[in-house]
Amino acid sequence: MTTAIRRRSFLLLTAAASLPGSAWALSGTEARALVDLLVANINAVIASGKSEAEMIKDFEGIFDRYADVPIMARYALGADARSASSAQMKAFTEAFRTYISAKYGRRFREFIGGRIDVQGESAIPRGVQVETMANLRGQAPFRVDFHVSDASGKALFFNIIIEGIDMLLSERTEIGAMLDQRRGDLDRLIADLRAL
């Protein structure tokens, strides 16, 4: 193989590595390993007996470690993300992280006395869906699915579907409505999210 051909092959392989869905795409095993850790952390928090405020803080740490919050925030903001400055997007992402971790932390707090068990995984268009089952006291078990991607350079979850309710779609609707109420003033929305 000539030097030119070897160099061209290397460049093609390097380019392919950066494309979504390439040969280096996230495997089901990697996605499941991430969700195993995530679920172990969630189960530890819901079994901790801590106050709601302490649990919410713990859930914020879980979102920091395991969630692709920048992708979630950009999706939730929708078309308005394109017109936001980089400083606004940074501020919105930080405010959204606090807002979303508190919101879902309260939801997972409802799981006290139960646990989440990982069931399996399957491919989805933008990554891997890891299926889990929430087993709560006095309730029928229900599905909680995590969508995992390595689009940001490492495996992170970017969506949660609880009993068929899609977090990303719900938050896009809710954030859009909140922005409409503020007549499109993103800075005001950021300030209000921080205050929630």
**pLDDT for 162-185, tens place per residue?**
999 999 999 999 999 999 999 999
DSSP state for residue 152 in the 8-state scheme: T
Res 29: pLDDT: 92
pLDDT of residue 175: 97
Per-residue model confidence (pLDDT) at position 72:
96
Q: Please tell me the number of Cα atoms within 13 Å of 53 on its side-chain side.
A: 0
pLDDT for the residue 2: 43
3-state class of 124 per DSSP? strand
pLDDT value of residue 186:
97
> Who contacts 30 (Cβ-Cβ below 8 Å, separation ≥6)?
128, 148, 150, 155
Amino acid at 105: G
Backbone dihedral angles phi then psi of residue 67, each to the nearest 5 degrees: -105, 145
Q: Identify the pLDDT of residue 15.
A: 33
pTM of the predicted model as reported, rounded to 2 decimal places: 0.81
Q: Domain 28-195 is classified in which CATH homologous superfamily?
A: Tgt2/MlaC (3.10.450.710)
pLDDT of residue 11: 33
pLDDT value, residue 31: 95
Whether residue 45 contacts residue 62, with contact meaning beta carbons closer than 8 Å, is answered with yes
Position 10 scores a pLDDT of 37
Which parts of the chain have pLDDT scores under 50? 1-24
Residue with tokens 């490492």: 154
Alpha-carbon gap, residue 47 to 111, rounded angstroms: 9
Structure confidence at residue 147 (pLDDT): 97
